[in-house]
Amino acid sequence: MATEVQIFEGALDKGLEGVVACTTQVSSIVGNTLNYRGYTIEDLAQNSTFEEVVYLLWNNKLPNSSELSAFTDSLHKEMTLSPEYIKILKAIPTANVHPMAWLRTAVSLTAHLDKDANDNSTEANKRKALSLTGKMSSIVCAFDAIRSGKDPVSPVAGKSIAWNFMYMLGGGKEPDAESVKVFDTCLILHADHELNCSAFATRVTASSLSDLHSAIVSAIGALKGPLHGGANEQVMLMLKKIGNIENAQKFVKDALDAKEKVMGIGHRVYKNGDPRAAILRKISEKLTQKIGEPQWYQMSTLIDDTMNKEKGLMPNVDFYSATVYYAMKIPTDIYTPIFAVSRMAGWCAHAFEQYANNRIYRPRSKWQGKEGLTWKPAQNR
């Protein structure tokens, strides 16, 4: 006779804090150091490119020159959206639809045109990951064009994903080198982050041996929320609501008194600061100064200091990325889709790892409802 599986009461925790749910070799957080495949985020942000980081996350090693060139070519080829797909995108409503909701639908629809959609082999999953990661920036920029009644701008061959994102979002205007470098750094910083909410969603869906597109659509849904990727947009909305530096401290204190969250602050894992925020803080200072609007950075640092003093909480990746994107003139509601453009790399890496060593995620829940009830006909209830 089969024995019942034992439940470990000690593992019961709201939000699974401290619970180790899987092993991984994709990325790790040690103290306040974030590593992708053993390389620190500081090292990669300074020296690498997004394309190289995607290769690293998927192949567990940095590419040599010929591997990088072949991989970059194949990734860039996937950036072009077919006329058939653009026609479908134009049919997805944009009015009163959040870009992340639109993106969730748009990415799901790529499966309908993918000949590998139902093939879960390693080779097919690599092809699908390349296609999804190549297309993401073009899809997000297509959204911004379509909602303005314009035709999406096609990517330029031989240019990076960062260059093309700025080019397509800018309506076909060539971006300057500094903006491209900053944007590429942002893509590197957001590419993966251990077992965050959307990576876990990817892995949970993949663990039923569902297809890669389904796992990615689960992840986009998880990223959309304001406690995860949606926070970067909320940070900018909050700063605009605060309006000027004189109001910042009172805003924070009022929020704390009302037990409301201050967006972009706090982290489940980092208690001594998010290393990505430290890098973005410097960029935010420089760029807001450059556009002649340093008040956004000053307001941010005041909120940062006040939250640290009042609650011992520090900014996460979303806090300073908001003002970086603002200074780059990116529409506020595109901030979270940019997170998805980058995080696609990490989601695919997690899905690969899950498929390669799979067991379905099936935890237990602790029953807290009524017991021993018996059914009665509706007229007797």
Which chain residues interact with ligand COA by CB under 6 A?
Answer: 15, 227-228, 231, 261-268, 311, 313, 316-318
> Is 318 noted as a catalytic residue in this protein?
yes
State the nearest-atom distance from the C-beta of 342 to ligand COA, in Å: 14
Nearest to ligand COA of 211, 274 (CB atom): 274
Judge contact between 116 and 124, C-beta under 8 A: yes
Name the residue nearer to ligand COA (CB basis): 123 or 257: 257
From the CB of 307, what's the least distance to ligand COA, in Å? 7
Q: Among positive and negative, which fits the CA dihedral 305, 310, 313, 319?
A: negative
Q: Is 76 a catalytic residue?
A: no
Q: Tokens 């330029």 label which residue?
A: 156
Q: Give whole-number Cα distances, 104 to 151, 197, 213, in Å.
A: 20, 16, 10
**Helices 231-242 & 317-327 angle (0-180, nearest 10):** 70
**What tokens appear for 296 in the block?**
């956004």
Q: Which of 211, 213, 318, 350 is catalytic?
A: 318
Q: Which is nearer to ligand COA, 160 or 332 (CB)?
A: 332
Residue 361: CB minimum distance to ligand COA, A: 20
**Closer Cβ to ligand COA, 102 or 339, answer by number:** 339
The residue among 12 and 209 lying less far from ligand COA, judged by its C-beta, is: 12
Q: Could you tell me the CA-to-CA distances from 253 to 262, 271, 287 in Å, in that order? A: 10, 21, 28
Q: How far is the CB of 204 from ligand COA (least distance, A)?
A: 19
Of the candidates 267, 274, 304, 350, the residue annotated as catalytic is: 267
Q: CA 63 to CA 234: how far, in whole Å?
A: 37
Contacts of 287 (CB under 8 A, 6+ apart): 182, 323, 324, 327, 328
**Shortest distance, position 29 Cβ to ligand COA, whole Å:** 12
Query: What is the smallest separation between the CB atom of 287 and ligand COA, expressed in angstroms?
Result: 21
* Matching residue, tokens 């073009």: 138
The answer for residues whose C-beta is within 8 angstroms of residue 307's C-beta and 6 or more apart is 252, 262, 265, 266, 313, 314, 315
Half-sphere exposure of 110 (CA within 13 A, CB side): 28
Q: In the complex, what is the shortest distance from the CB of residue 46 to ligand COA, in angstroms, rounded to a whole number? A: 22
**What gap in Å lies between CA 325 and CA 246, rounded to an integer?**
23
Residues 160 and 51: beta-carbon distance below 8 Å: yes
Closest by CA position to 354, among listed 214, 161, 152, 144:
214
C-beta of 175 vs 230, nearer to ligand COA: 230
At residue 193, what are phi and psi to the nearest 5 degrees?
-165, 70
Closest listed residue to residue 336, CA positions, set 169, 171, 248, 221: 221
Residue nearest ligand COA, CB atom distance:
266
Residue 316: is it exposed, middle or buried by C-beta count within 10 angstroms (0-12/13-18/19+)? buried
Nearer to ligand COA (CB atom), residue 133 or residue 321: 321
Question: Catalytic residue numbers?
Answer: 267, 318
